[in-house]
Chains A and B, each alone.
Chain A
Amino acid sequence: MLKLRRFLKNYKKELILGPFFKLLEAIFELIVPIVMSKMIDNGITQNDKPYIWKMSIIMVILGVCGLGFALTCQYFAAKCAYGFGTELREALYKHINSLSHSEIDKFGTSSLITRMTNDTMLVQNGVNMFIRLAVRAPFLIIGATVMSMLIDVKLSLIVIGSSLMMVGAIALVRKKTLPMFKNIQKGLDKLSLLTREALDGVRVIRAFSKQKQETDKQLDENRRLAKACVSAGRVSAILSPLTFMIMNLGAAAIMWFGGIRADAGDITQGEMTAFVNYMNQLLLVLIVLSNLIVIFSRASSSAARINEVFETLPSIDNGSTVKADTDKPAVQFENVSFKYPGASEDSLSSISFTLEKGETLGIIGSTGSGKSTLVNLIPRFYDVTKGCINIFGINIKEYDMTALRSMIGYVPQKAVLFSGTIRDNMKWARPDATDNEIISALKTAQAWEFVKKMPNGINSHVSQGGKNLSGGQRQRITIARALVGAPPIVIFDDSMSALDFLSDSELRKAIKNDLSESTVIMISQRASTLKNADNIIVLDDGVSAGQGTHEELLESCEEYREIYSSQTN
C-alpha cells in the first residue's frame, strides 16, 4: 500500500490534519470520565453545587468541541480519500491506455476492469478508514490503559488482562471462521454455476428429459451450502456473547479487587466509576480495531493488485514518421515470424508477401492457424519477433502510432459497438467526419438500408455493446465504422460471419466500387468470399501453405482444394 502513497501528494494537509483532529476528539473522550469522577468525588461528596455546575458545563463543552473536531476530521478524511482515489484511477486508466495488446492479454480485460473499479474503491476506503480510525483506535487503547493505570496501577492489570483475552478471543474466532467463510463463498459460486448451467442448457436438458437430475444437483448443493452456513454460524455466533462476557467479568473482578482497595482507602467511588468506564471504552475500541484490520488487509491486497498493473510497462515504443509515400507498395511482409510472449512455438513463421495499392488480399485457414495474428501485426498490436513489415515503403516501427493506426480501417472479429448514437460510433475513426462521409460508409457496408428506417436515423441510440441491434446489423455498423473517410488500408478480421451469402456478396461488390483506392485485407472461413481477391494466402499452423489467385490455388494447393470442395460440394 505504501507504494501508492505518491497519490496522496496533493492531500498532505488533510492527511496530517485529519488524524490530528481525531486525536483531539479522542483526548476529549478520555477526559469525560475523569470529569464525571471529579463531579462525584468532589461535587457530591463535598456538597459543592457550583462545582457540579462547572463540571457539567465542562462536559457539554467537551462534547461540542469533540463533535466539531470529529466532523472536521471526517471531512478531511473524505476529501483526502476521494482525492487520492480520483488521482489513482486517473493514473491507472492512463497507464492501462498505454499498454499494448501483449500486456492486456497478460492481465485479461475482466481483471483490469476489477482492478480499475473494485480495487481502487477498496484502497480508497482503506485511506478513509486510516485517517478516521488508525490514529484514534491505538490512541484510545493506550490512553484508556494509561488513564486506568494513573488511577490505580494494580487494578489496571485486570483491564490489561481482559483486553488481552479479548484480543485472543477475537483472533481465535476470526482464524477459525475464515476458512469456513471461504467455503461458503465457494458453495455460492458453485450454486450460481449450476444455475447458469441449467439455464444455458435448458433446451438440451429438456430434450433429454433430465430436468429432475439437474434440479437434484442444485438441491444437493443447496443442502451442502446450508450445512456450511450453519456450522460457520455456530462458531461466529460465539464472538459477541464471549466479548460481552469478558468485558463484564472484568468489571466484576474490578469491583471485587476495587472494593478491597477502597477498604484500604486507595481508591474512591468516583474513580471506580471512571475505571469501569475506561474498561468499557477500551474493549469497544478493540472490536473496532479488529474490523479495521480486515479492511486494511483487503485494501493492501487490492493495492498489490493495482501495483502489479503500474509495474507492467508497455512493450511497444513509438516511432516518429507521420507521413507516408503512397506510391510505394501498400503492405509488405518480409520473412515475418511471430511468437506470443511465453509461448514455446512460433504462431507465424516466415510469411512474405507484397500487396500493391488498391489490391485485395484474402487469408484463409483453420482456427488457430494464425490468420488474426497476421493482421494484428499490421497496426502494431503486437511487434514481430523476426523479419519486418513495411507500409508504403516504411517500416511500421518508424511510424508514429497514431499516424500508423489512422491509416488503417480495422474491423474486429467480434462486432462491438459502444453506447451512444450511431453517429458517435461512426466517428470513432475520425472525430471530424461529416454526415455525408458517415452515410456513404453506411451505404458501402450495407447498413444504410436499416439505419435509414430507424426512427432517428444516424441519431438513433445504441445501447452498451450494441445489444439493441441484431448480430448482422451490429456487424454491418462495425464495418461501416472502419470505412469512414475511406482509409488507405482496410482489414476485415473474419468480419462477415454473421452476414448471409446475399449481404456478403453485395458488401464485397460495394467495397470494390466505393473503395477502389483502398488496399483490402480480408480474413474469411468462406472460400466464396475470397474467390475474387488478387492474392490469397492459405495458412496452416502459422505457415503459408500456398499463395496465389483462386485459380492458381485450385491448381496447386491441396489444402485450398479441400476447403473449397467441402464448402461448395
Chain B
Amino acid sequence: MFKVILRILKYSKPYKLSLIGAVIFSFIGVLLSLFVPVLIGKGVDVMIGKGKVDLAKLFQICLILALTVVTSSSFQWFSSLATNRLSYNTIRDIRKDYFLKLGIVPLKFIDKNTRGELISRAVNDIETVSDGLLQGFTQLFSGLVTIIGTLVFMMTVNVRIALIVMILTPLSLFTAAIITKLSHDSFVKQSEMRGRMSSFTEEMIGNQKVVKAFCYEDRAMEEFSKINKALKKSGIRSVFFSSMTNPTTRFVNGIIYAAVGTAGAFSAVGAAGFLGVMTKGQLSSFLLYSNQYTKPFNEISGVVTELQNAAACAERVFSVIDSEPEPSDENKPVLKAADGTVSIKDLSFSYQPDKPLIHDFSLDVKRSGQKIAIVGPTGCGKTTIINLLLRFYDADSGTISISDTDIKTVTRDSLRSCFGMVLQDTWLFAGTIAENIAYGKENATIEEITDAAKAAHAHSFIKRLPNGYDTIIDEEGGGLSQGQKQLISIARIMLTDPPMLILDEATSNIDIRTEQRIQRAFEKLMNGRTSFVIAHRLSTIKNADMILVMRDGNIIEQGDHYDLIAQNGFYKKLYMSQFE
C-alpha cells in the first residue's frame, strides 16, 4: 500500500507547489482555528459582572477573534483550492497514462480482460483514487494537526485537565473499534445478500418474458421472498450497528465534556489543588476544545479505510499502466504495395500453450483475386485466422508472407492498411454517418463518400434518413439495423480501396433484401482482390478457390468444393445436411 501511495505522489510531482501550498495553508488555517476557543474563553473572563466589564479590552478580543476567524477560513479555503488543483490534475495524468497504454497493449490483453472491467478501471477506480487518496491525505493531515494542536493548547491552559482528556481519549477509540468490529460481519453479510438480491432481480426481471413464457412467476416469487427476508434480517443488523457510531461518539463526547466541566469547576473554586487553578473563561474554552477534540479521531479512522480502498483501486489501475505494450515497430520498413499473393508456411498457433490450435498449416495464394472461404460450425475459431493475418496476435512458429515479405518484418500499420475488413458485429463510433464512412480516409470529399456509399448499396437508405449523411449515430446505433450498419462499414472499405479483404458473412437476423444488397456489395468488393471470407452462404463457399474447413479451432480439411466432396469427409457431411 505504501508503494502505491508513493507512486501516486510521484504523479503529483508537477503540482508540488499545490501540494506544499495545501499542506502549509491547511496547517495555518487549522492552527488559527484553534485560537478561537482561547479567545472566547478570554472574552468570558472579561465579563466579571455588572458594571465591571472592561469593554475596551473586550472589543480588542472580539476584533482579534474576528480577524483570526476570517484569516483561518481564508487559509482553509486556499488549502481546499490547492488540494483541488492537485488532485484533479494528478488524476488527469494517471488517466492519461492509462489511455495511452490502452492504445498500445496487445490485443491479447484486451481480449483477456472484460470490457466492463477495463472501463470501470478507467472511470470508477480512478475516481475512487481521487476521492479517497488525495482528499483523504489532506483530511488526515488537518485531522492530525487538530488533535496535536488541541492537546498543546489544552496543555498550555491546564496540564492536568488536559491529561484527563488524554486518558479519556482511548475510550472513544475503543468504542469505535468495538462498533467497527460488530458491524463488519453484518456488513459483509448484508452486502452479500444485496449482491444476491440484485443478481436475482437482474436475472429474472431482465428475462421477464422468458419467465412469463414458462409460468415461472410463482416459483420466482417464492425464491425472491426468501432472499428478501434474509436481506431484511442482515440489513436491520448492519444498519443498526453502523448507526450506533454517532450516538456513541456523542455519548463519549458528553462524558469527556462532563469530566472536563467537573474537574474545571473544582479547580476554578480552588478545591482541587492537584488540578491547579482555572478561570471560568478558561473552563469555557476547555469545554469548546473537548467538543472538537474527538471529531478528528472519527474522521481519521474513516480516512484510513478510504485510503486502503483507494490504494486497492490505484493498484488495479497501475497494473494496466504497467502491462507490457506490443513490441515496437520502430525502424522496420513499410510493406510496399501488396500484389495480393499470400503464402503461409508451417504455421502453428495457440491461445493457451497447453491447448494447441492451429498446427503446421500451409496455404499458397499465388495470384491476386482468389477467394478463400473459411467454413465450420459456430465457435470453431474462424476469427483466429483474422487475428493472425492482421497480426493482432503473432503466430508461435511458421511464417505468413505477403508479396514475398514476411509480415513480421514490416510495420503493423502498413500491413493492416493492405487489408479491408468487414466484421459481422459492425463497429460504428458516435459521430455522423459521413464521418464513419470516411474513417479510413480522413480528408475524403463528400463526393468520394457518396460514391463509396453508392458502390456499397448504402446510398439509398442513407439518403432517406432525416439528416442524410449528417445523421448522428449514437450509442445504440441510431436506429440503424444490423444490416445497414454492415453496409456502412462496407462503404468504409470501398473508400480506402485495399488490395486484400477479410469479410465476415452474416449468419442471421438480417433482413433478406438488405442481405442481398450486402451480397452484391461484397461481390463488387471482392472483384480482383484476394479475399478471405468467413462464409455461411453456400453460394460463396461453392465459388471459392479454396475452402478451409475448421472444427474446434483446427483446420481439418482444405481444398476446393469438388476436392472436398471427393474427400468424403466432414465438409461433405456439412454440405449434404443442406439437402436433407
Contacts and interface: CB of A to CB of B under 8 A. Distances in A.
**Among A93, A100, A505, residue most surrounded by chain B Cβ atoms (within 10 Å):** A93
A568 to B, nearest CB: 6
A207 interface: yes
Interface in B41-61: 43-53, 55, 58-59, 61
Interface string B475-518: 10000010100000100000010000000000111111111100
Given A43-B265, A113-B202, A502-B574, A248 B36 contact: yes
A279 to B, nearest CB: 11
The 5 closest A-B pairs by CB, nearest first: A265-B50, A366-B511, A569-B539, A70-B247, A237-B80
A568 B421 CA distance: 25
A406 B217 CA distance: 13
Interface string B293-325: 000000000000000000000000000000000
Given A66-B251, A117-B201, A525-B508, A59 B258 contact: yes
Nearest to A478: B210
B61 A75 contact: no
B76 A244 contact: yes
A405 interface: yes
Contacts of B225: 90
Nearest to A367: B511
Interface stretch (B227-235, B365-373, B402-410, B525-533): B227-235
Contacts of A453: none
B577 A419 contact: no
Interface stretch (A160-168, A223-231, A297-305, A391-399): A223-231
6 contacts: A43-B269, A59-B258, A77-B243, A215-B102, A405-B215, A566-B512
B427 A78 contact: no
B195 to A, nearest CB: 11
Interface string B382-402: 000010001010000000000
Given A193-B475, A208-B439, A566 B516 contact: yes
Contacts of A90: 224-225, 228
Contacts of B55: 259-260, 263
**Among B83, B110, B122, residue most surrounded by chain A Cβ atoms (within 10 Å):** B122
**Among B89, B417, B440, B577, residue most surrounded by chain A Cβ atoms (within 10 Å):** B577
Contact of A528 (B236, B508, B542, B578): B578
Contacts of B339: none
B144 interface: no
Interface stretch (A140-148, A351-359, A410-418, A433-441): A410-418
Nearest to A70: B247
Given A67-B247, A366-B512, A464-B203, 17 more contacts: A39-B261, A56-B258, A64-B251, A86-B229, A90-B224, A191-B123, A201-B429, A222-B95, A241-B76, A259-B43, A263-B47, A405-B214, A470-B378, A566-B512, A566-B519, A567-B539, A569-B539
B205 A81 contact: no
B379 interface: yes
A465 B216 contact: no
B545 interface: no
Interface in B344-379: 376-379
A269 B280 contact: yes
Contact of B244 (A71, A93, A210, A212): A71
B206 A113 contact: yes
Contacts of B542: 569
Interface stretch (A149-157, A173-181, A493-501): A493-501
Contact of A272 (B44, B115, B377): B44
Contacts of B76: 240-241, 244
B62 A32 contact: no
Given A504-B577, A505-B580, A568-B538, A259 B250 contact: no
Interface string A91-119: 00110111011001000011011001100
Contact of A199 (B74, B110, B259): B110
Contacts of A501: 574-575, 577-578
A44 interface: yes
Contacts of B235: 78, 82, 85
A256 to B, nearest CB: 4
Interface stretch (B166-174, B282-290, B450-458, B464-472): B282-290
B80 A241 contact: yes
B209 A104 contact: yes
Contacts of B421: 203-204, 207
B6 interface: no
B394 to A, nearest CB: 14
A16 B217 CA distance: 36
A412 B210 contact: yes
B212 to A, nearest CB: 7
B155 interface: no
A259 to B, nearest CB: 4
A96 B416 contact: no
A502 B573 contact: yes
B509 A248 contact: no
B187 interface: no
Contacts of A497: 507-509
Given A226-B89, A241-B74, A366-B512, A49 B271 contact: yes
B53 A195 contact: no
A40 interface: yes
A132 interface: yes
B199 interface: yes
A195 B126 CA distance: 14
Contacts of B579: 528
A558 B161 CA distance: 101
**Among B62, B221, B427, residue most surrounded by chain A Cβ atoms (within 10 Å):** B62
Interface string B230-266: 0110011101100110111011001101110110011
Nearest to B65: A252
A502 B84 contact: no
Interface string A109-135: 110110011000000000010001000
Given A562-B512, A567-B538, A262 B47 contact: yes
Given A49-B269, A269-B280, A428-B214, A59 B69 contact: no
A58 B412 CA distance: 82
B210 to A, nearest CB: 5
B291 interface: yes
Contact of B85 (A230, A412, A526): A230
A172 interface: no
A203 B423 contact: yes
A460 interface: no
Contact of B390 (A207, A260, A569): A207
A97 B206 contact: no
Contact of B207 (A117, A264, A416): A416
B244 A74 contact: yes
Interface string A545-569: 0000000000000000011001111
B9 interface: no
Nearest to A111: B205
A208 B250 contact: no
A195 B229 CA distance: 39
A226 B198 CA distance: 33
Given A209-B417, A226-B89, A252-B65, A272 B228 contact: no
Given A255-B40, A505-B580, A566-B519, A210 B439 contact: yes
A485 B119 CA distance: 45
B101 to A, nearest CB: 9
Given A86-B231, A569-B539, A255 B62 contact: yes
Given A52-B265, A272-B47, A207 B419 contact: yes
